[in-house]
Each structure stands twice: as C-alpha cells, then as structure tokens.
Amino acid sequence: GAVVSQHPSWVICKSGTSVKIECRSLDFQATTMFWYRQFPKQSLMLMATSNEGSKATYEQGVEKDKFLINHASLTLSTLTVTSAHPEDSSFYICSAFDSGRAINEQFFGPGTRLTVL
C-alpha cells in the first residue's frame, strides 16, 4: 500500500514550451501533496504544498505563475512548468500524505527528470 506514481518519469522539451507532471496516490486518498525539486548532488527543495480543492501554498522564492499546481482530486496533483527554460531542468519529486493515517509520514513518487533544451 501507499504507492505514489509520477508521470512522465522523464521528459525533454524545447525552451519556451510548457510541461505538465502528474502525481497520483494509487491506493489512498491524499488531501495534501508536496512538490520538491532536486538539482544534481543536492538535497530536495520544497517548492509548494498542494491542498485538494484549494490554492497551493508556495515556498519563498518559488514563482507561482511559473510553476502552476492543481490538486483537483484526492488522488491527483499536477505541476505545470510554464515557458520552461534550461535552468528549470531538474528532478521533480512529489509526495503525498495518506489522509487515513494518524502518523505524519509522506510517501514519495519516483520522480520526474525534466530536461529543457
């Protein structure tokens, strides 16, 4: 149980295009999901908190108009990188809390490798 998937696992796009990344909780409901980005050899940087049915909460320094987050259902959150540029190339990881569990524990997706040419 507690499986989180991401799609696609990797994507290459041209500069200026938009890319959508999906994060799904496969066997549980998640009212809260998080989006992280990770540069090579670095730690995970929290980008935003995604809450089902409401606006995402972005961390300081993260452009909300560039990284659009939608959490339309209890099992799906999407991250859209708009007008992508090479500096947006990174490993994007999502995580989700199981709403049915009492203990604070995130379950992580396998990540999406974005390369912007």
Partner 1 sequence: AQSVTQLGSHVSVSEGALVLLRCNYSSSVPPYLFWYVQYPNQGLQLLLKYTSAATLVKGINGFEAEFKKSETSFHLTKPSAHMSDAAEYFCAVSEGTSYDKVIFGPGTSLSVIP
**Interface contacts to partner 1, rule CB under 8 A:** 4, 6, 31-32, 34, 41-46, 49, 91, 93, 95, 97, 102-106, 108-111, 113
- Separation between Cα atoms, residue 92 and residue 57, nearest integer Å: 17
Closer to partner 1 by CB, 82 or 113: give it: 113
Burial of residue 108, with CB atoms counted within 10 A of its CB: 0-12 exposed, 13-18 middle, 19 or more buried:
middle
Nearer to partner 1, 67 or 109 (CB): 109
The Cα diameter of the chain in Å comes to 43
> Min. distance of Cβ 44 from partner 1 in angstroms?
5
CB of 12 to partner 1, least distance (A): 15
From the CB of 16, what's the least distance to partner 1, in Å?
26
